[in-house]
Amino acid sequence: MRTILKVRKKGILILPKKLREACNIKEDSEVIAEVRGNMLVIRPLKPPLIVDVDAETVEKIFREEKILEDVKYEEIINRKQ
């Protein structure tokens, strides 16, 4: 899709609705603007991936890691004796 845009005072560009919808840019969305050669590329900034983590699973993993660290610590102490 191509559209001619007019640069207004202070460099303001208005993105027509069809362009915004095509790129899933909504009000208050952030975009990245970059220069590639002699082109200006504007694309949506993807939000960071949000992962839902089970708290019990995280706690279990931390407990297992602590046990492994304790074993390593004991091995180091026993080597020095």
Summarised one tens digit per residue, pLDDT across range 38-61 is: 999 999 998 767 778 889 999 999
For residue 78, the enclosing domain spans 51-81
Domains held by the chain: number: 2
Whole-prediction pTM: 0.50
Q: Are 3 and 19 in contact (CB under 8 A)?
A: yes
- The pLDDT tens digits of the residues spanning 23-34 come to 989 998 899 999
* 68 domain residue, yes or no: yes
Alpha-carbon distances of 18 from 26, 57, 61, 81, rounded to whole Å: 11, 44, 47, 74
Tell me whether residue 2 is in a domain. no
Q: Is residue 79 part of a domain?
A: yes
